[in-house]
Structure 1
Amino acid sequence: LAPYTIIHPHQHEGFTQQQHQQGGSDGTRRTNPRTITAEVFHPGCAGGTCPSTVSQQPTGDDGSARECKGIGCKLPSRMRQKQKPCGREGCSAHAGDDASRGPSPVHVTDRAAQYLDEVPDFGSERGAWIQLACDIKPSNELPSEDALVLQLQLSKSQERLVEALRGQQDEIKQLQRLLSEQQAALVSQQREILQQQKRMYEQMEQQDRDECLEITGMCGDQQKCLNTPGFRCQGMTIRDASSGMCGHGYFYNSDMEECQACNECDGEPVVSPCTFVTDTLCTGPAAEASELSLSWAGDVSLQGSKGHVLAGAFSSVQLHIQGRGDAGLVSAEKGHLVLRQHGLVWVDGSLALSHGCRSFVQVCLRLNNSDGSEGRDLSGVRVEQQERRSLQSVSVSGVAEVAPGHIISLFLRSATHQCNQSSEGLQLYDASAAPLSLLWLSHDTGAVAMTAQALVSAHYHTNYHPAFHTTSTSDPYIVGLTHDSRGIRFAESGTVRFVFQQALYSMGQACVSEGFQLAAYLNQNGTSAELFRVFKPGVHYRDTSISISGATKVSPGDAIDFEILSPAQCNVRFFGDGSGISLLSLFWVPAAISSFLTASVANSGLPSGAVRNKPLFFHQTSPRVSQMGLLGKGSLNVRRDFVFRESGTVSMTLDLKLIHSCNLVKVTLLMRRDSEGSRGGHEAEGLRPVHLAQQSAGQMLEGSQWASVSFRTSFQVYNGTAVFFLLDCVRGRVNQISHQTGSGVSVLWVA
C-alpha cells in the first residue's frame, strides 16, 4: 500500500510552526511529506518524533472489528482487514515486531479517519481541505476476464496451429512417398525405353541393307524399287504381294505399303509362320505371362423373385449378376461386377423382357468407383410400352477405362412408377446362354476408348444427322470429333468397334407401319460409303430407342457418322441426357494386333416356314484376313461356320430383319472347338456345340411390316474354333428374312 499524500492549498495553524522550521533556498519553508504523514497517523507526535507503540482501537463485545469510519469506509471490502479481538489493554505490546516496521496499511487507514473525526470543523470554518490520493496494487491481483479469455483463445489457437502443422507434415510425408514411387516407376519406364531403343538400333543395324542394289529384278522390269527399312515397289498391290513378289524372308506390310523382313523368334515358339502378307508371330515366356485381351461371361436375373417375375410398380430394380468365367479378371459380388485389372472394357448385354408399365422401362448399364460413388451411366436403352404384351429384345453396350475395384451394375428403371399389378408385372426371359459378356483390353495394346453424347434436338425431324460432344476419351489425338461435331475422325490406322443408341419419341401411324432405320457411314478421301444399316419397328405416341453396332477398319483421316431415317409422315423428336440414352461408345485397336470381318445374310438357303433350329448362311463382304473367315467351297459347313485360325478375343454382333408369325423367335450362337471344321471334315464324335449367346423376341408389333432381333457378345477363340447361328420359331412360321439391308454380322478380333 503506497503512502497517503496530503495536499493543502490553504495554510492551517496546526502546520504553521513546522513550515517555518523547514526552509528552502527561496526562504520559504517546505513541509516534509513524511512528517505530515506521521503527524496525521499519530496526532500526539510532532516534528517526526513518535512513540513506538500505538494503541489499538477497541472492538465490540463479540470480537468483531468496529464499524468503519471516514475514508476507510470508501475502501473495497477486501481491503478492510478484520482486527483480532483483544481482551486487555496491553494488546499493543504483542505487536512489537509490527510496530518496528511501522503501522500496517489498515492501521494507517483507521488513523487517518480518526484524525479527521477529531477535527469536525476542519473544512467548514477554515475553508481548507485535505485530499488523500492512494495508489492501490494488491499483491494477489488476478488478471481480468478479458485477459483470461484472450489467453485461452491464444492457447487454443496454438493447439490448432500445432495440429495443422502436424497434418501438413503428414501430407508432405505422403506426397514424398508418392513422389518416390512415381520416380521409381519413371526410372523403370526409362530403362524399358532405353532397352527398346537399343533393340531397335540393333535391328536397324541388321535391316540396314539396300535390297534394291543387292537383289536384281526385285520389283520386276516395269516397277521401281525404293529403299526403306525393307523395300518398296511402286504400284504394288495386295494381289502382287500375295503372289510372292516380296520374295523369300519378306512379307508385305499393308499399313506401310512396303515389303519388310520377317521376324525371327530366336528360339521362342512360333505361333504362326511368316506368309506373303503377315509377319511371324512368336510366343515367348513374357508374352505368355501378360495377356493383351480377355473375355468374361455371366448370367443376369431379377434379384429375389421366383420365376424371374416382379409384381407391382417399381422405380428402380437392380439386376443380379452371377459369374461364369475366370474370377481373375472380374468377380461377381452382391449382384455387381467388380473389375480386378487396369485396362479398357467393352460390356454387352442381350436381354429379353416384357412389362406392363405405362410409358417405357429403361435398361441402364452403370459404372461406379470402388466405394460406389462418382458413378456414371455407360448406356441406357428404352423398352417401349405395347398394347399387347409381348417379349421384347434389348441390346445394351458400353465402353469405359477401368481400374481395380470399379463396379459395373445393371438396372431396370420405370418412367412413371405405374405398372401392372398382376403377377406378371415385369418378366425377364431366361436364356440358355450367358446374356452378359465383357471384352477386356490391356493398356499394352495401345487401344483407345471414347464416349460422346448426342446433342438434344428440340424440333421434330424425319431424316436426322446427330451431332455429338465428347464426354470421355483415353487419347484425344487418335480419336476425336470432326469440325462439325457430326462425325468421329481417326488419326492412325486401326480397327474400330462402335455402338450408337438414340432415344426418340414418334407420332404418326406411318411410324408403326414403316419403322425406323439407322445407318452408319465411313468417309474416306471425301467419299462416303454405307457400312451398316439396322431396322427398328416404329411406335405411335410412344418412347423407344434405336441402336446400331459394328466393326470396321479405319485409316488416317477417315471418319464415321450416322443418320436416322424415318417415314415421311412420321414426326420424331430425339432426346439426350446424362443417363446414356443417346450415346456413342467406341474403341480403337491398332491394326497390328486386330482385324475385322463383315458378312451379310446369304440370298440362298434362307430358312422359312416352320423353322426349328435351322442354321443361317452368310456371305462375307469384307476382305479376307488370316485370322478368321467363312468356310468356303469344299467344306461340309460352307457359308455357315465362322472359323478362327489364331488365338484371341472376339466381339461379335448379329442383326436380323424378318417377317414372322411366331409367338417366340430365338437366335442362338454356338461354338465348336475342333479343327475339323477348318479342314472341311465332320464334327468330332462326342463333341457337342456349346451355347455362347442367345437372343429372343416375341410376336411382331401389330401394324408393322417388319420385325427385328439382334444381340452382341464377346468370347475367347483358339486355332480351329468355329461358331455358327441357329434360328428357331416357336408356334408359328418365318415368312421372310431380308438379305439386302438390316441383316448381317460384324466381328472384331484382337490378339
Structure 2
Amino acid sequence: IQPQQGGFTQQAETDGVRRTNSRTITAEVFHPGCAGGTCPTTVSHRQTSDDGATRECKGIGCKLPSMMRQKSKTSVGDGFGAHGGDYGRENSSPVHVTDRAAQFLDELPDFGSERGAWIQLTCDMKPNNEVPSEDALVLQLQLSKSQEKLVEALRGQQDEVKELQRLLSEQQGALVSQQREILEQQRRMYEQMEQDRDECLELSDLCGDHQRCQNTPGFRCQGLTERDANSGMCGHGYFYNSEMEECQACNECDGEPIASPCTFTTDTLCSGPAAGDSALSLSWAGDVSLHGAKGNVLAHAFPSVQLHVQGRGAAGLVSAEDGRLVLRQHGLVWLDENLSVSHGCRSFIQVCLRLNNTDGPEGRDLSGVRIEQREGRSLQSASISGVAEVAPGYVISVLLRSASQHCNQSSEGLKLYDQSAASFSLFWLSHDTGAVAMTAQATVSAHYHTNYRPTFRTTSTSDPYVVGLTHDGRGIRFAESGTVRFVFQQALYSMGQACVNEGFQLLAYLNRNGTGMELCRSFKSGVHYRDMSVSLSGAAKVEPGDALGFEILSPAQCNVRFFGDETGISVLSLVWVPAAISSFMSASVAHIGLPSGAVRNKPLFFRQTSLQVSQMGLLARGSTDQRRDFAFKESGTASVALDLKLIHSCNLVKVTLLQRSDTDGSGGGRDADVVRPIPLAQQVSGQMSEGSHWASLSLRASFQVHNGTAVFFTLDCVRGRVNQISHQTGSGVSILWVAA
C-alpha cells in the first residue's frame, strides 16, 4: 500500500534499509510505540467512535485540547483508519496533527510556556566524529592528571617564592643589625675620641727617635712589634693590643677586686661580684703532700693514708680544712690530681678521690688508679680525675691505700715528689650553665682478653635525658649539642712479657650516624703478673644522637683480666656543657721542632687537629707546623689534658704548663726588663720501665683565662736524654673552655 501524501518516504523492502525524514521522527516522538510506518491509534480517555465503541485515550492525544481531538481513528505512518480507505476524514493526516500539536503546545497545562516547561526533540543519529566512551574517559583522566601536575607545579613555585621572601627578610634583618652595630661602634669611637688624651703631644719621645707617634684611643707607634711590647715599649699603665696593634690604657676596676693585673700585652681583669653570685665557672688550685712526713719513711704499714691538701687560690669557692677541701657553693666540680710517688710495697698502691656529704661520715669514692710495683722503686707518675655534683659543706679528700701490709720493710718507704707547681686543681660549674655530670661503673670481666670494649652501668647522673647509656651499655649517648670533658680509668691484671714490651693503648671514639671516629688515645707500659691501671682524658664536641665509646688494645701474646669495684678503679667520669657557653680544641705534637737530646726546659710544639673556634687557638711561631702558645680570646675557665708518649734515658722527666706574665705582676712598665712565665701545673716521672719500648707522661689541670691569656708546655730531662717523642699516636692535648 503506498501512502497518498508526498511528505512520506517510501520504504524499500528490497535493500532492507530504513529511510526516514524529520516529520516521521516527529510523529514517533509524539506517539510512543510508533515504529517505522505503522503507528497504532492511541488515546488516553475512553472515547465514543462512529460505531459507538468506546476506546481508551492514551499518549499525547489526551493532553491536546478538545478542538484537536479527532472523532475519527487515525494512525501514523503507513497504517490506515479502522475502516480502511484514506488516511482519515477532514484531511487529518499525521503530519498536520503533529504540526497542530506543536502549534497549540502552549495551551497544555503541564507543558505550557507559562510554567517554563519545554520539550526537546532529539534525533537518534550518531555523528561520524563522536569519540567512543572508553577513549573519552581516558582523555578526561589524562586532562585531569595534567591539571593536577600544573597545580602542583604552581604550588611548588609559590613555596619557592615564599622561601625566597623569607631568606630576603632574614638577610634584610641581618643587614639592619650589622648597620646598628656599625653605628654603635662609631658612637663609642666618637665618645672615646672626646674623653681620650693625646699622648703623642703630652709625652715627649714616646715612640723613640725613629718612630712616628699616632694618636688613637691610646697611641700607636709606627713599626711597633709584639717583641717591643713585651719589653715595655708602651710604658706604665698601658698594654699592647695585638689586634689593634696599638698601646691602650689599662682598665680600672673602680673598687672591684683585681683578678689579673695589667701586663705588657694583656688588660686588667676585674674579679667582679663574689664567687657564685653570677659566675658560670671558676677554678681553684692547691698542693697535695704527706702531712708532717715531708716524704720520709712511714714507720708502719698504711692500709689508708689521707694526703694533706693545701690551697693556693681564694677561699670563696672552697676552703682547705684539716687537709681536706670543703665546698662553699652548689654546682658541679671536676677534679684533677697529678701525683708523683715512689713506694716499696710488695703490691700496688691505690690513689683515690673521695666525696663525703653533710649527712654523715659515709661517702663514696669518685675515682681511683693503681700504681704498680716496680723493681728499684723508681718514681712513678699518675693522673687521676673525677666529677661530682656538690652542695655547701661537701668534703673532698685524697687518699692513698695499700693492698699489702708489707710497705714498711723498705728503708725508703713511701715518698711524694715535691713539685714546683700546683698538683691539685678544681673546675667548678654553676647549675645556671645547665651542665650535666655523669659517672658510670665498668662491669667486671670474668675472662682474659686482648682487645676489650668495656660495658658500663650508670652510677649517678644529674640529668638522664641529656646524658645516658646506649641500649647495649657500651657507649654514652647524648640528646643535645654540647661539649664534654671525660676520663676513663680501668684497673687490670696482665700476664706475659709482651705486655711489658709493647704496653697498652686506651682509645676513645665518637660514633656519629653509624660512623666511628677516633678522638684520642693514650699509652701505658705494661707489667707481668701484676696489677696496674690505664687512664685516658679528653674533650669533644657532641651532637644529638652521638655516642662515646672506649676500647683497650693489648699485645697479641698478652693475657689481661679487667677489674671493677666500688672504689672507683674502673669508672667513667663525664661532664657535659651546653654548646652556647663552651667550646673545645685538640692538637697533636708537631712532627718537626720536637725536643731531643739533652733537653732542658724546651717548649713543645703542636699542630691543631680540631676546627677553629673564636675563644682560643694556637699562635704561629715560624711556620704553620711550629706552634707553641695556646692563646685565649674570651674570659672563662679552661680544663687541659696532655698525654706524651716518648723514649728517654732520663732519671727524671718533667712536663710543665706555664702562663705568660710579667715579673712582679704590677701591670708592666719600662722598669721590668725580664718576662717570666708563671707555672700552673707540673708532672714528674722517673726512669723507663725495664724492657718497655716506650714510656708515657700525662698532665691535667684547670685554670682561669681572659682575653690575651697564653699558655704553653715545656719538657725537661734531668741526667739523661730524650730520644724520641711519638707524634703519630699517644701524644696530644685537649682543652675545654667554659664562659665565666
TM-score tier, shorter chain, comes to 0.5 to 0.7
Q: 1:497 aligns to what?
A: 485
SS in 2 for 1:485: coil
- The Cα of 1:416 is off from its aligned counterpart by 1.3
Aligned with residue 738 of structure 1, among 710, 719, 726: 726
Aligned with residue 350 of structure 1, among 334, 338, 347: 338
- Aligned-residue sequence identity (percent) comes to 73
Q: 2:465 aligns to what?
A: 477
Q: Deviations over 1:38-94 (max 9, x none)?
A: xxxxxxxxxxxxxxxxxxxxxxxxxxxxxxxxxxxxxxxxxxxxxxxxxxxxxxxxx
- The Cα of 1:369 is off from its aligned counterpart by 1.0
Does residue 249 (structure 1) correspond to residue 249 (structure 2)? The answer is: no
**1: CA distance between counterparts of 2:463 and 2:363?**
21
Identify if the C-alpha distance between structure 1 residues 424 and 633 changes in structure 2 by more than 3 Å, giving closer, same or farther.
Answer: closer
TM-score, with length taken from structure 1: 0.62
Does residue 414 (structure 1) correspond to residue 402 (structure 2)? The answer is: yes
Letter in 1 for 2:478: F
SS in 1 for 2:644: strand
Aligned with residue 608 of structure 1, among 596, 603, 606: 596
SS in 2 for 1:641: strand
Does residue 447 (structure 1) correspond to residue 411 (structure 2)? The answer is: no
Q: Tell me, yes or no, if the aligned pair for 2:648 and 2:721 is still in contact at 8 Å.
A: yes
Q: 2:582 aligns to what?
A: 594
Q: 1:695 aligns to what?
A: 683
Q: 2:370 aligns to what?
A: 382
- The Cα of 1:388 is off from its aligned counterpart by 2.2
SS in 1 for 2:627: coil
- The Cα of 1:367 is off from its aligned counterpart by 0.1
Q: Tell me, yes or no, if the aligned pair for 1:312 and 1:422 is still in contact at 8 Å.
A: no
Q: 1:301 aligns to what?
A: 289
SS in 2 for 1:639: strand
- The Cα of 1:570 is off from its aligned counterpart by 0.3
Q: Tell me, yes or no, if the aligned pair for 2:510 and 2:519 is still in contact at 8 Å.
A: yes
- The Cα of 1:374 is off from its aligned counterpart by 2.8
Q: Deviations over 1:85-121 (max 9, x none)?
A: xxxxxxxxxxxxxxxxxxxxxxxxxxxxxxxxxxxxx
Output aligned runs, 1:558-637, within 5 Å: 558-632=546-620
Aligned with residue 536 of structure 2, among 539, 548, 552: 548
Q: 2:415 aligns to what?
A: 427
SS in 1 for 2:580: helix
Aligned with residue 398 of structure 1, among 381, 386, 390: 386
Does residue 460 (structure 1) correspond to residue 388 (structure 2)? The answer is: no
Query: Which stretch of structure 1 is more off in the superposition, 562-571 or 363-372?
Result: 363-372
SS in 2 for 1:310: coil
**1: CA distance between counterparts of 2:566 and 2:671?**
49
- The Cα of 1:419 is off from its aligned counterpart by 1.3
Letter in 1 for 2:579: A
SS in 2 for 1:461: coil
Letter in 1 for 2:569: I
Q: 1:645 aligns to what?
A: 633
Identify if the C-alpha distance between structure 1 residues 490 and 644 changes in structure 2 by more than 3 Å, giving closer, same or farther.
Answer: same
- The Cα of 1:311 is off from its aligned counterpart by 4.0
Q: 1:535 aligns to what?
A: 523
- The Cα of 1:687 is off from its aligned counterpart by 3.3
Letter in 2 for 1:610: A
**1: CA distance between counterparts of 2:396 and 2:360?**
10
Q: Tell me, yes or no, if the aligned pair for 1:399 and 1:587 is still in contact at 8 Å.
A: yes
**1: CA distance between counterparts of 2:436 and 2:524?**
30
Q: Deviations over 1:323-357 (max 9, x none)?
A: 11110100000011000000000000001001000
Q: Tell me, yes or no, if the aligned pair for 1:631 and 1:637 is still in contact at 8 Å.
A: no
Q: Tell me, yes or no, if the aligned pair for 2:645 and 2:731 is still in contact at 8 Å.
A: yes
- The Cα of 1:637 is off from its aligned counterpart by 12
* Greater RCO (CA < 8 Å, at least 6 residues apart): 2
Identify if the C-alpha distance between structure 1 residues 421 and 719 changes in structure 2 by more than 3 Å, giving closer, same or farther.
Answer: same
- The Cα of 1:673 is off from its aligned counterpart by 4.0
Identify if the C-alpha distance between structure 1 residues 636 and 231 changes in structure 2 by more than 3 Å, giving closer, same or farther.
Answer: closer
The two structures, once aligned, show a CA RMSD in angstroms of 3.3
Q: Deviations over 1:420-448 (max 9, x none)?
A: 43341100000000100000000000000
Output aligned runs, 1:180-329, within 5 Å: 225=164, 227=166, 231=170, 247=175, 249=177, 290-329=278-317
Residue ranges of structure 1 left out of the alignment (5+ in a row): 1-220, 234-244, 252-259, 273-282, 675-681
Identify if the C-alpha distance between structure 1 residues 532 and 636 changes in structure 2 by more than 3 Å, giving closer, same or farther.
Answer: closer
Letter in 1 for 2:292: G
Q: Deviations over 1:455-505 (max 9, x none)?
A: 110000000000000010000000000111100000000000000000000
**1: CA distance between counterparts of 2:452 and 2:692?**
22
**1: CA distance between counterparts of 2:162 and 2:588?**
38
**1: CA distance between counterparts of 2:534 and 2:175?**
50
Identify if the C-alpha distance between structure 1 residues 528 and 291 changes in structure 2 by more than 3 Å, giving closer, same or farther.
Answer: same
TM-score, with length taken from structure 2: 0.63
- The Cα of 1:389 is off from its aligned counterpart by 1.3
Q: Deviations over 1:287-346 (max 9, x none)?
A: 995100000000100022134543442111100000111101000000110000000000
Residue ranges of structure 2 left out of the alignment (5+ in a row): 1-159, 193-240, 242-269, 663-669
**2: CA distance between counterparts of 1:528 and 1:586?**
19
Q: 2:707 aligns to what?
A: 719
Q: 2:657 aligns to what?
A: 669
**2: CA distance between counterparts of 1:310 and 1:409?**
20
Identify if the C-alpha distance between structure 1 residues 284 and 582 changes in structure 2 by more than 3 Å, giving closer, same or farther.
Answer: closer
